[in-house]
Amino acid sequence: MHIHYNWNEILIRVILFLFCLTILLNKANIFGFPLVIFAWIIDQGYRDFSILLNEPFVKGILALCALIGIGLLWSEYPFFGHMKWRKYFILLIFIPFFSLLNKERLLWAIAGLLMGYFSILLIGGFESLILSEQGIPQLNISYLSFSAQLGIGAILSIYLAQANSENKEKALFFMMLGIVLLFLQFTQNARAVLLATLIAIAVMTWFFYSKNIKKYAFFLISLLMITVIFSTITPIFRDRLIQIKDDVIEFHQGNYNTSIGSRVALWDIGIDGIRKSPLLGHGTGTPEIYFQKEVKVYKDGQYKNLPNFLEVTHYHNDWIEIGMHLGIVGIFALGFLLWSWYQTFKVHALRNLGIGLMCYIFIAGLTDTFIIFSRISTFLLVVTAISICWSKQQHDDKKTMVS
């Protein structure tokens, strides 16, 4: 008997699996992105591009990336330095990846994502709890990146616990997983990302329990108790709190060569830069060289020693960063991106998850250029696409059962 294989379909499924398996690894995107685009081309997904435009998030991505490209027209030094602005275009990979997903391919993508994520989790947990290391040094994953991955996992886990509240076993499993991820996040140095995670969980849960204040109060008290317990038993967290106090003292003494002081200096220079060119900014790619010029003379050289402490490649704030590139127009474009991202979750009956993740991205973006962390942004895009496809599949299955 002759067995016919659809080799294109097999290849696409393998690519989806490998892409999701490796998205959290350093430099994996160099190979992963071309493979996804190749799979999209052989699948002829570009023919459905007009359908993809119905997704609000796709419109938000295209609007922001188009402005980044147009901003090159008035940029004085677009190809100078580290060119961090190129990472905004990572958002575009959502389009072919989302287009490739269907009922038959979805499990391949989920399998790759879960295997990759929990492999990173096990290695990172061993590094943190056994070796007392920050991040995962052998995989070149910084503590900030690892903490961000843990935060996304914690938000997703607690959302799944709430979404499966009628199934006590599932709800308990996902809630315990979320608590474990939070504990690991407390062992990392990333204070702002941890705070973003806790606030996002609290906000997301408010919308879940909005009609039952007593249950929300119980959850919030439980979250506060967990926070106190974890902060008490993890020395890293206590050390970082002490460092905050020391940084504030140094800052008031005029020393900006600290974590807090350097951020304040960057934001000060960045906000002044936006003030000088408020509407369209200084052009795509200009902010880095703008800083190198201004830091020597701004406020009579108050921050002139900062480059000796920190290699400045961005402004440690999503909104100041995009404002330096594209001014108020860019800030509105980034706001539209987050709003459209949420709208896509809402359209596909995932409102609470959208609230949690957008709150997380917004708060984390106040102290770092979170939206252009390449591995984190790719991870968020994949989680978004898989969640939407899963929700659509669940909805279609229910309609089939009813009919």
Identify which has the larger pLDDT, 132 or 173: 173
CB 317 within 8 A of CB 365: yes
Is pLDDT above 80 for 255?
yes
Residue 142's pLDDT band (boundaries 50, 70, 90)?
Answer: very high
Q: What is the mean pLDDT of residues 302-325?
A: 92
Q: What SS3 state is found at 302? A: coil
Is pLDDT above 90 for 12?
yes
* Alpha-carbon distances, residue 240 vs 136, 236, 260 (angstroms): 19, 6, 12
**Which residue segment(s) compose the domain that 204 sits in?**
7-394
Q: Considering the domain boundaries, does residue 401 fall inside one?
A: no
* 150's tokens: 């843990």
Identify which has the larger pLDDT, 78 or 129: 129
Model pLDDT, residue 173: 97
Identify which has the larger pLDDT, 52 or 248: 52
Q: Considering the domain boundaries, does residue 403 fall inside one?
A: no
Q: Considering the domain boundaries, does residue 2 fall inside one?
A: no
Per-residue pLDDT reduced to its tens digit, 296-313: 999 999 999 898 888 888
Q: Considering the domain boundaries, does residue 207 fall inside one?
A: yes
Residues 6+ apart with CB under 8 A from 7: none
Q: What is the mean pLDDT of residues 171-200?
A: 95
| Backbone angles phi and psi of 366, in degrees to 5 | -80, -20
Residue 29's pLDDT band (boundaries 50, 70, 90)?
Answer: confident
Residues 6+ apart with CB under 8 A from 384: 57, 94, 341, 344, 345, 357
Q: Considering the domain boundaries, does residue 96 fall inside one?
A: yes
Q: How many domains does the chain have?
A: 1
CA distance 268 to 300: 13
Residue 1's pLDDT band (boundaries 50, 70, 90)?
Answer: very low
Residues 6+ apart with CB under 8 A from 86: none
CA distance 154 to 183: 10
Residues 6+ apart with CB under 8 A from 243: 259
Helix 235-252 with 213-233: angle, nearest 10 deg: 90
Question: Closest Cα partner for 379 from 120, 11, 85?
Answer: 120
CB 281 within 8 A of CB 329: yes
Is pLDDT above 90 for 394?
no
Q: What is the mean pLDDT of residues 334-363?
A: 97
Eight-class DSSP state of 348: T
Q: Considering the domain boundaries, does residue 281 fall inside one?
A: yes
Q: Considering the domain boundaries, does residue 208 fall inside one?
A: yes
What integer best gives the mean pLDDT of the chain? 92
Is pLDDT above 60 for 398?
yes
Q: Minimum mean pLDDT among 69-83, 235-249, 356-370: which range? A: 235-249
Whole-structure pTM value: 0.95
CB 182 within 8 A of CB 197: yes
The 3 state secondary structure assigned to 250-275 is: HHHCCCCCCHHHHHHHHHHHHHHHHH
Angle, CA of 46, 48 and 51, to the nearest 5°? 135
- Percent pLDDT > 90 in the chain is 75
Residue 45's pLDDT band (boundaries 50, 70, 90)?
Answer: confident
Per-residue pLDDT reduced to its tens digit, 201-227: 999 999 999 888 999 999 999 999 999
Model pLDDT, residue 374: 82
Model pLDDT, residue 4: 56
Identify which has the larger pLDDT, 253 or 381: 381
Q: What is the mean pLDDT of residues 101-125?
A: 96
Model pLDDT, residue 403: 57
Q: Considering the domain boundaries, does residue 1 fall inside one?
A: no
Model pLDDT, residue 402: 63
